[in-house]
Structure 1
Amino acid sequence: MRIITNANIIMPDHVIAGGTLWIADGKIVAIKAGYVAREAVDAAWSTAEWMDAQGFYLAPGFIDIHVHGGGGADFMDNTVPAFLTVAETHLRHGTTAMLPTTLTSEPEELLELFSVYELARERNTFGSRFLGLHLEGPYFAMNQRGAQDPKYIRNPDPKEYLPILERYHPIISRWSAAPELPGALDFGRAVRKYGILLALAHTDAVYEEILPAVEVGYRLATHFYSGMSGMTRRNAHRYAGAIESCFLLDQIDVEIIADGVHLPEPFLRLIHKVKGTDKMILITDAMRAAGMPEGKSVLGSLRRGTEVIVEEGVAKLLDRSSFAGSVATADRLLRTMINQGGVSLSEAVKMMTVNPARLLGLDHQIGSIAVGMDADIVLFDDHINIQHSLIGGELRYSK
């Protein structure tokens, strides 16, 4: 049992100034306006842990549905310590739940990762909780591969993905692919059969190819603007690319790397103007260098990854021809959206809590502060510096 008082509680549609939150058995059981003194609590709560929030903001824990690494580790390292390091690193920045995300790889490496994930999930008692895996690739358009290793990129093959889905669908929460590839619509139908979130990514698709993809269940644009086509010409005719299509189609939510580098201020404002708060999700897309000093690093696994350079707050290929993932953390995303994207604190928080929870079908459990919800919460100051992170009411991080 825990009582947190003197907190500015960020609700889905308003802020309770100086409010109090009651937690029992990992759940939120009461929310009230006003400060509550310890001596005023009835006998049933006399043994509760007491926390004076000192006027900090109290928000739902951040949910990162696209993250590769942090703290010097990457999920593709395929070790339990690497998984736990990433989870603990991002918890310090307010992420209480995440989808560990893969890169394109050999099939054997991916199968190994499934086993490691299950072990890591059992042993993860100090970091962000794992909500399931996000498979990013390997079914991508070669022209839009970005920093993905071209030797692993291929078209969807039912002999490969059907056995994966049949065996591992309980631990796969999301799969990203290019919808215009041969076999990508059948692949999409198979993914949606298991209730897995289906996203379009690293794609050269045009509007006429995205429409049927939406029909089979593609519902999210992976790192919007990055690795996707814009307006193009074919035989002198103009075609709307993936970017314009995602703006136009209400069925598609967009996730953005709001680090201020992948998408500078005009793009952040444009996306918000067109898609609106409810259709935007903030993601870090962080690689292993998140939370580490700038300099040389590795994108992907230490065994087979690509050497990159981290400078100016972003990871780049060594020839500086492309970004190679971000080094952002969740608190940085919120600051950027407020300071450059022109949104309110409540809107920015919604983009990293309510919206991703809804996409994953978990909005009945996490993503907002309400009676009956899991007590996954964070406290931060006016500059979104994380002071405390709690998961299921348990204090897992204090500054």
Structure 2
Amino acid sequence: MNKQLKITNGRIITPQCIINGTILISQTKITAISQRDIDAPDALVIDAHGNYVSPGFIDIHVHGGGGHDFMDGNEEAFLEIARTHARYGTTAMVPTTLTAEKADLLKTLDLYASADVKNTMGAQFLGMHLEGPYFAMNQRGAQDPRYIRNPDEEEYKEIIAYSKAIKRWSAAPELPGAIKFAKYLQANGIMPALAHTDAIYEEVAVAFENGYTLATHLYSGMSGVSRRNAYRYAGVIEAAFLIDAMDVEVIADGIHLPAPLLKLVYKIKGPDRVALITDAMRAAGMPEGDSVLGNKDTGLKVIVEDGVAKLPDRSSFAGSVATCDRLVRTMMEMADVPLHEAIKMMTKNPATIMGVDDRKGTLVEGLDADIAIFDEQINIQATIVNGKLVFGG
């Protein structure tokens, strides 16, 4: 591997503006950004040919891709998912589980640890996201109802003690024990997020004050306005909008949320509190047709068509097949979001939420050399992870 890499003739998306210039990378870090050529005679040169040079995309909620799922129970699934999404500009990701038995979660954590060491040609892993099993049954979506349960203190303490890889855990905050659970997560450096929840505004307000500062896939698997004994109550969706400091995830594939809802999220939360996520299952990056949501042997059979996974009877969506380039493109085309703000939602905001913005998410001297190069249509031309070209070039 060359010690230096130089990207020339690019439209560089910096935190302040877009400049025409050059980036110099030394080993794993960005060492210079200039509107002029940078003298580095021994560097490997990548000519961006006038394309955009962006921070690499950061996907903080992803289940699979390339025909694999993180719950498949093998190391190769982790590695192939990382390689697949790197082809679409993703340079860092947070592998995400589905609701499962404790033994399956522990096995997945073991596989993460072993795959993380071998992951040299794909998007970097930033730690695990456990999605479930502490969810509201009637907001379970595609989560397996056999494993949904209330927070179990003995269980979650054992899981947390088992692995240091867990960085985030999504749960329904209105469940018995969910606030105590969130406090324990934070004491162990893990971020609580609210998901698959039937809470009302008042419950979310308490949850937010106790650490549930991120709404997992806004609109999906959560309550809106409801009536109880004739009275209307604001739900999780309204709470996410009303609590200014709450961050929200959006599956911006243009299907899970149509254009008016994408515009509404952008209008209310603005460019600083939205993180774009794929929430992708194994069919991301694969041809349409039959697929499986979750474990390849025991998961739910689905059909992929029209750019989304559906139940076989086509009565409901069953998962996203998006890649990060598609998310950026959708926000620009359907929600009228400017390029630099769509990029922020795909880079800086996810990095901030995960607490890695001191090293990732922006093109700044001294930060990790995670870079995506793409054209006007957000077609990825090259992906660089920690200074290493892993796709294109």
Deviation at 1:166, TM superposition (A): 2.1
| Aligned-pair CA distance for 1:165 | 1.3
Deviation of 1:297 (Å): 0.5
Residue 49 of structure 2 is aligned to residue 74 of structure 1: no
Is residue 2:338 matched to residue 1:344? yes
Q: Distance in 2 between matches of 1:49 and 1:241?
A: 54
1:380 corresponds to 2:382:
no
Structure 2 equivalent of residue 143 of structure 1: 138
Aligned partner of 2:280 among 277, 281, 286: 286
CA shift for structure 1 position 320 = 2.4
1:105 aligns with 2:100: yes
TM-score by length of 1: 0.96
Please name the residue that 1:365 is paired with.
359
Q: CA deviation at 1:21?
A: 0.6
RMSD: 1.0
The one-letter amino acid of 1:207's match is: Y
C-alpha displacement of 1:215: 1.3
Deviations 1:30-78 (Å, cap 9, x if unpaired)? 11113x2xxx72xxx3211112211110000000000000010000002
Amino acid at match of 2:227: R
**CA–CA distance in 2 between the matches of 1:372 and 1:282?**
25
CA distance in 2: counterparts of 1:144 and 1:339, whole angstroms: 30
Identity %, equivalent residues: 59
Aligned to 1:21: 23
Partner Cα separation in structure 2 for residue 222 and residue 316 of structure 1:
20
2:70 aligned partner, one-letter code: F
Q: 2-side partners of 1:52 and 1:329: how far apart?
A: 25
How many residue pairs get aligned? The number is 390
Which AA in structure 2 matches 1:149? D
Alignment of 1:250-399 (within 5 A): 250-398=244-392
SS at match of 2:342: helix
Q: With structure 2 as the length reference, what TM-score do the two structures score?
A: 0.98
| Aligned residue type for 1:236 | A
- Is the Cα contact below 8 Å between 2:245 and 2:273 reproduced in 1? no
Return the alpha-carbon distance in structure 2 between the equivalents of residues 269 and 186 of structure 1.
35
Does the 8 A contact of 2:51 with 2:374 survive in 1? yes
**Residue in 1 that maps onto 2:225:** 231
Residue 58 of structure 1 corresponds to which residue in structure 2?
53
1:162 match: 157
Give the unaligned 5+ runs of structure 1: none
Deviation at 1:389, TM superposition (A): 0.3
Match of 1:124 in 2: 119
CA distance in 1, matches of 2:92, 2:391: 14
SS at structure 1 position matched to 2:272: helix
Structure 1 letter corresponding to 2:274: M
Q: Secondary structure at the match of 1:76?
A: coil
1:116-151 CA-to-partner distances (Å, cap 9, x unmatched) read: 111110111111111100100001000000111100
- 1:13, CA displacement in angstroms? 2.5
